[in-house]
Structure 1
């Protein structure tokens, strides 16, 4: 019997405007009312993910920053896997070698090492264009731009961060320079103890090897005595691979998923722009005992 649904956010639960549609909201609530636990499993930092859930009028547990931390629906920390400062120093050396700008994630939010005006330029000229290469339908309003620029914790440079008390859970970067990102990834994969993935060819995400969506999902499920055959996991990109490749799990690829994800999943649902989460939830509710598509 299906007892837990684990859903990615970007490209999965969220539409092109990074919102949860009323149809998906209704389906999630219906699943919860029928005793199915619905958990978000996202690369987004906790404050950002929680704000999206609250805006939709939903309450659920969250696994954030690619499995680096987990919170219950009341905001209590369940797990945390930080990257140690010595390793962060090595990561910075690799970023500096290829002139890449890191974004850093904590349980309190996103950290930027760039002053305000430089953040504006990076967001306008690098971050948003890099996202839109792979998601041309992704819409960014002026309010979205302001949120990306302003909703950060500013730390004045790499040394200041290394000497601070901030606990870094994930480091990412976006760039339109595909070759530089590939070289950076090769460099990062030489550093012991890291998990390095990309959601699209224009980004890179780094966490502790202990912080992956799959391993944290299993740790979370074990708290309730659940086994993989009682879990449905849904995603679309490489950072979902670790949860979708769990042996025995009911893995579901979005219609818009990358080839890597479609090739490992047992099932496929509709695209994120066509309420794919609601579609798969309705399939589950039709027969929880013998779930199939």
Structure 2
């Protein structure tokens, strides 16, 4: 019987300053050394999480983009569930002209934003992961695991959440990871479903 331990990063393993404490690092190393199958299950991008894993020098599965991507212990992609191209294309520009809301796109190994927001980098203290700027009509919508919107006001994101759900229904999974971050994945995507896939693979 395999033993599996899964954990998020933000608000769980990572401290409030977005770093791994020495205790957290030692705990993860001890778990994996004892043969426990550890799984990162997070909304973060797999490039970011992969660096954290490699820096720890541990073997672990990675569930990223809230379940839209799963990588095995060797870093091989074993599951993917992308947003439909038409939905991704529309999301790229849905609030592009709103100066208060920043659009973020995770596409395969890349991260895009529609405008500079240097303070976003405070979340990446355990890895080096940088964004590129994009223009809505020029970004290829293939391979989009997640589109998310950040804003200092939760109330400003509520109409966007309602509009996305009204337009695409169960073709999308829309949720707030924090009060100031609205995330959109393909319908049916969740960390729970991805974890089930990992558990089946482990037997």
Matching residue of 2:173? 195
C-alpha displacement of 1:98: 5.4
Say which structure is richer in strand. Answer: 2
Q: Spell out the pairing of 1:1-293 with structure 2 (5 A cutoff).
A: 3-92=3-92, 94-96=94-96, 100-114=101-115, 119=116, 122-124=117-119, 127=120, 140=122, 151-155=130-134, 157-161=135-139, 164=140, 166-190=142-166, 191-192=168-169, 193-225=171-203
C-alpha displacement of 1:48: 0.8
C-alpha displacement of 1:59: 2.7
Say which structure is richer in helix. Answer: 1
Q: Give 5+ residue unaligned stretches, structure 2.
A: none
SS in 2 for 1:31: helix
Residues 217-267 of structure 1 deviation map (CA, whole Å, 9 limit, x = unaligned) = 111111123xxxxxxxxxxxxxxxxxxxxxxxxxxxxxxxxxxxxxxxxxx
Instruction: Note if contact 2:29-2:56 (Cα within 8 Å) is conserved in structure 1.
Output: no
SS in 1 for 2:102: coil
C-alpha displacement of 1:95: 2.6
CA distance in 1, matches of 2:163, 2:113: 22
Change (3 A) 1:194 1:175: same
CA distance in 1, matches of 2:118, 2:149: 11
- TM-score norm. by structure 2 comes to 0.86
Q: Which moved more, 1:91-100 or 1:72-81?
A: 91-100
CA distance in 2, matches of 1:165, 1:158: 10
C-alpha displacement of 1:174: 1.2
Matching residue of 1:291? none
Residues 62-121 of structure 1 deviation map (CA, whole Å, 9 limit, x = unaligned) = 01110010111221101011111211233345434855321001230312233xxxx1xx
Instruction: Note if contact 1:48-1:109 (Cα within 8 Å) is conserved in structure 2.
Output: no
Q: Which has the higher contact order (CA 8 A, sep 6+)?
A: 1
